[in-house]
Structures are given as C-alpha cells and as structure tokens.
Chain A
Amino acid sequence: DAKTTQPTSMDCAEGRAANLPCNHSTISGNEYVYWYRQIHSQGPQYIIHGLKNNETNEMASLIITEDRKSSTLILPHATLRDTAVYYCIDNSGSARQLTFGSGTQLTVLP
C-alpha cells in the first residue's frame, strides 16, 4: 500500500500558485519523496524529488517539513496545461519501484 496520503482533488486559478500537499508520516529516513503527474490518458511524468532539503527545478518547487512527515509541491504559475493527477510517491524497494496512491486531481480554472 502507498505510504502517502493526498487530497482527492483541488482547484487553482490560472496564473496563481498551486500548492499540493502530501502526508508521508511513515516514510523512512533514507527514502526520497517523488512527485509525478499524469495528464489524461498519458504515461506519468516525473516532476521533482527530495529527501530533506527544499528543491526547485524548472517545473516546480518541493517543500519538505523538517520532520519529513509531509511535503508540498508548488507550481508557481499554474496554466491550463497543468491540469492533471499529481502523485506523491516514495520509491522504496530494491529496484526503486513506485507505489502509486490515488493522487490529487488538480484542475486549473481559467
């Protein structure tokens, strides 16, 4: 079973920041948190990952709490094309296989 919990759905206005929370209170100390998204019917797309420190790349920022029990994915200026299901995932296992939960359906509204 997935070790992460996320809200089922969220809305965000176009151009505003989208903040997607994730609870991973049972994640172990050496497990990274990964974020992927899946735009309708397509294969999942990697966004970002982190362990302890906050991370930023061209797509998003990842804020991880000091106790590592939760994190927030931030899309700084959401566009309509960011409408997707966002998955917060740990990648435990010998082959770093992903255990997907149900994710958060983000809808960006015009």
Chain B
Amino acid sequence: NAGVTQTPKFRILKIGQSMTLQCTQDMNHNYMYWYRQDPGMGLKLIYYSVGAGITDKGEVPNGYNVSRSTTEDFPLRLELAAPSQTSVYFCASSFPGQGTSYEQYFGPGTRLTVT
C-alpha cells in the first residue's frame, strides 16, 4: 500500500491564481480530512468527508472547496489564492472500523507559497 499520497509536493502561486491539491488513499478508508499548518503552529482542519458524496466544513474552510466523488480521492481546491493561504497542507484518512480506533494516516504534505 502506498498509503496517503499528495501532489504536488511544492507549489508557488501568484495572488488570484487557482489550483487543486490532490490527495489519494489506497486503504479503502471512509473518512478523509484536509488540514493546514502554519509555521510553528498545530494543524487546523479545513474540510472533511465521511464518505463519497459527503463533505463538511472544518475550522478554517474559507477560501477552499472540496469534492469527494470516489472513496480514494479527496481534492482540495483554492479558487483565488491569497498570501494568507501560504501554508503546508496535509491530507489524512481513517477507517471507523470495529471498536474505537480512529487512527488517522497522514500524507507527506504540500508546501504552498502565495506571492
């Protein structure tokens, strides 16, 4: 299993440009999440999904959109990039199986700079 993969690894955007951060998992996990991490801070939840066709906002959703058409993919869309969106973006997935374990598996991150 590749686990959670994210592309691209790095990206520089100009203000007002748009882009899609890709996230794919091959573990058949129902739940997927997008977090952002600013320098020296903990991760903040942007959006999450509990299954294909179902998404919901997290703590910091403004300026972002998501879709979940398949179990495997959970892309994050930035429509009008702003300098405040300069951050490291992490995608994660988990499987709410039997019992209580909701361990999340994280991707390697996408480092985005908006100038």
Contact = CB atoms under 8 A, between A and B. Distances in A.
A45 B42 contact: no
A59 to B, nearest CB: 12
A41 B109 CA distance: 8
Interface residues of B, number: 31
B9 to A, nearest CB: 11
Interface string A66-110: 000000000000000000000100010011111111110000000
Interface string A28-54: 000010101000011111100101000
A2 interface: yes
Given A49-B101, A102-B41, A44 B96 contact: no
B108 A42 contact: yes
Interface string B38-70: 001111110011100000101100000000000
Interface in A1-17: 2
Interface in B5-34: 31, 33
A96 B107 contact: no
Q: 3 closest pairs, A vs B, by CB?
A: A43-B106, A100-B42, A96-B102
Given A32-B100, A44-B92, A94-B50, 13 more contacts: A34-B102, A43-B108, A43-B109, A45-B106, A46-B103, A46-B105, A51-B100, A95-B56, A97-B48, A99-B45, A100-B42, A100-B44, A103-B42
